[in-house]
């Protein structure tokens, strides 16, 4: 089942599940719509173009809290995945902590342009990871 935006309560679960105060890397798996779907309006943008509008502004917010985009690239082939699962792009973003990430995404200025993310994506996964020692 496609997932694009967090379910209600997901941020609270993330705050409780991820160790506080340690750097995290968010793994983003992205599948774009052929044509962007904005609520109540027609669009000539592709899903990838709508997402590009989002990422341009989101990157500014990531940098403002001390984060960085580590890698953005085209997904070519799933070696181990359920049959038929395919992603267009992956994105790895480092944040100073889960708390900083949650504060960023709850910021009204940030939320004002997430409409482009939602319009552009057909499906997504966002997975918080913490580097393990060893």
What distance in Å separates the CA atoms of residue 94 and residue 59, rounded to the nearest whole number?
11
Tokens of 129: 């990871």
How does pLDDT run across 47-104, given as a tens digit for each residue?
Answer: 999 999 999 999 999 999 999 999 999 999 888 988 888 999 999 999 999 999 999 9
Domains and CATH numbers, the chain: 23-129 (3.30.70.100)
What distance in Å separates the CA atoms of residue 8 and residue 13, rounded to the nearest whole number?
10
Angle formed at CA 20 by CA 19 and CA 25, multiple of 5 degrees = 70
For the chain, what is the radius of gyration of the CA atoms?
15
Q: pTM, whole model, 2 decimals?
A: 0.89
Q: Is 128 exposed, middle or buried (0-12, 13-18, 19+ CB in 10 A)?
A: middle
What distance in Å separates the CA atoms of residue 118 and residue 33, rounded to the nearest whole number?
10
How does pLDDT run across 24-57, given as a tens digit for each residue?
Answer: 999 999 999 999 999 999 899 999 999 999 999 9
Of 121, 126, 111, which Cα lies nearest the Cα of 29? 126
Per-residue 3-state assignment (H helix, E strand, C coil) for 26-89: EEEEEEECCCCCECCECCCCCHHHHHHHHHHHHHHHHHHCCCEEEEEEECCCCCCCCCCCCCCE
Q: What does the pLDDT read at residue 131?
A: 82
């Amino acid at each position: 089942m496609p997932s694009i935006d967090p379910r209600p309560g997901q941020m609270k679960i993330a705050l409780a599940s991820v160790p506080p105060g340690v750097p995290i890397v968010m793994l983003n798996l992205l599948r774009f719509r052929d044509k962007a779907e904005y609520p109540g309006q027609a669009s000539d943008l592709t899903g990838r173009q709508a997402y590009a509008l989002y990422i341009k502004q989101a990157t500014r917010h990531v940098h403002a809290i001390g984060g960085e985009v580590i890698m953005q690239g085209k997904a070519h082939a799933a070696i181990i995945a359920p049959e038929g699962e395919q992603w267009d792009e992956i994105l790895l973003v480092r944040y100073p902590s889960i708390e900083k990430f949650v504060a960023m995404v709850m910021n009204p200025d940030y939320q004002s342009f997430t409409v482009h993310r939602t319009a552009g994506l057909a499906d997504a996964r966002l997975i918080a990871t913490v580097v393990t020692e060893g």
